[in-house]
Amino acid sequence: MLSIKVVQKSFGGLKALSNVSFEVMEGDIKALIGPNGAGKTTLLNIVSGIYQPDGGEVLFLGEKIDHLDSKTVARKGISRTFQHVELFVNMTVLENIMVGRYAKTGYGFFSSGLKLPAVGREEAVIRKKSEEILEYINLAYRKDENASSLPIGEQRILEIGRALATQPRLVLLDEPAAGLNIRETRNLGDVIRKIRDELKITIVLVEHDMDLVMRISDSVTVLNFGEVIADGTPLEVQKNRDVIIAYLGDEEIIPGGYSAHP
């Protein structure tokens, strides 16, 4: 579904990505891991059209997309979340989902205030579909509450729901478990797998929580200093000594891994 081919990106004298290549198979949950500063979010920003690479290619369903802006990439079928929750905190939970649905229509969210007949009909459909998404992610009971009132775990789920509202083929999740406790993280993992299994949406997951990564991922790519140092199944990666030394640091973090210490 997604091919990253020798992608390069620099910011001034800092090389963020150097000849990064890997593939994401349709229907997979692909985890992208590595230490802070490894280039993971930079790569997501390139795939989603926020940045353009200095070299290399990004192909989505065989089409070159690395020259497109973020709105066009979204229309192609790629949606995303961010490291820091990016909700409209003064809007209700339902309105946040509706914003995502409006991206698929010819009318903007604020155009609905004009109350034109065509807009009104479209808004009714958008509201119904948005309510269905809230039911799917188990947040329907919160629909009339302000998004800011939700605990962080539910805010993360809501942001994923808004990404689903654009009807994507591929969703990029940037550290969705950040700030979550064990129970919230387990619930998040269940939601991500449900989306892949039932909606047939492919997932790219940037994450530091190794328990989550190893529990739900089909394949894992490891970045270090902007370069790919490993790519394979979770079992293969957790036994890779280069990964242990560069990122995981200790066998106690990943059961069965090699120790980085003599």
Asked if 48 contacts 73 with a C-beta cutoff of 8 angstroms, the reply is yes
| Tokens coding 212 | 């989550």
Look at residue 22 and tell me if it is in a domain: yes
Which of 112-121, 128-137, 190-199, 205-214 shows the lowest mean pLDDT across its residues?
A: 112-121
What are phi and psi for residue 192, nearest 5 degrees? -60, -45
Residue-wise pLDDT for 11-21, tens only, equals: 988 999 999 99
Domain that holds residue 98: 91-145
Return left, alpha or beta for 225; rule: phi > 0 is left, psi -120 to 50 is alpha, else beta: left
Look at residue 261 and tell me if it is in a domain: no
- Among the candidates 145, 161, 179, a domain finishes at 145
Residue 121 has pLDDT above 90, yes or no: no
pLDDT score at 176:
94
What are phi and psi for residue 90, nearest 5 degrees? -90, 5
Co-location of 168 and 110 in the same domain = no
**Residue 68 pLDDT class (50, 70, 90 cuts):** very high
Co-location of 58 and 162 in the same domain = yes
Look at residue 132 and tell me if it is in a domain: yes
- Work out the average pLDDT over 59-68: 96
Name the β-bridge partners of 224: 227
Co-location of 176 and 75 in the same domain = yes
Look at residue 6 and tell me if it is in a domain: yes
Look at residue 157 and tell me if it is in a domain: yes
Enter the DSSP assignment of 146.
Answer: B
Co-location of 159 and 119 in the same domain = no
Look at residue 209 and tell me if it is in a domain: yes
Percent of the chain past pLDDT 90, that is, above it, reads: 71
Co-location of 55 and 164 in the same domain = yes
Q: Which CATH number does the domain housing residue 66 bear?
A: 3.40.50.300
Co-location of 208 and 220 in the same domain = yes
Cβ count near 110 (within 10 Å)? 8
Distances (CA, A) of 203 to 19, 46, 181: 22, 16, 22
Co-location of 110 and 172 in the same domain = no
Co-location of 156 and 241 in the same domain = yes
Co-location of 99 and 228 in the same domain = no
Contacts of 235 (CB under 8 A, 6+ apart): none
Please give the Cα distance from 91 to 17 (Å, whole number): 37
Co-location of 65 and 95 in the same domain = no
- Work out the average pLDDT over 89-96: 92
- Among the candidates 129, 145, 161, a domain finishes at 145
Please give the Cα distance from 93 to 71 (Å, whole number): 23
Distances (CA, A) of 160 to 65, 82, 101: 23, 10, 13
Q: Domain tally for the chain?
A: 2
Residue-wise pLDDT for 99-113, tens only, equals: 888 766 655 555 555
Look at residue 253 and tell me if it is in a domain: no
pLDDT score at 247:
60
Co-location of 212 and 165 in the same domain = yes
Co-location of 164 and 177 in the same domain = yes
pLDDT score at 252:
47
Helices assigned H by DSSP within the chain? 40-47, 70-76, 93-102, 117-136, 152-164, 182-199, 210-216, 234-238, 241-243
Residue-wise pLDDT for 144-203, tens only, equals: 999 999 999 999 999 999 999 999 999 999 999 999 999 999 999 999 999 999 999 999
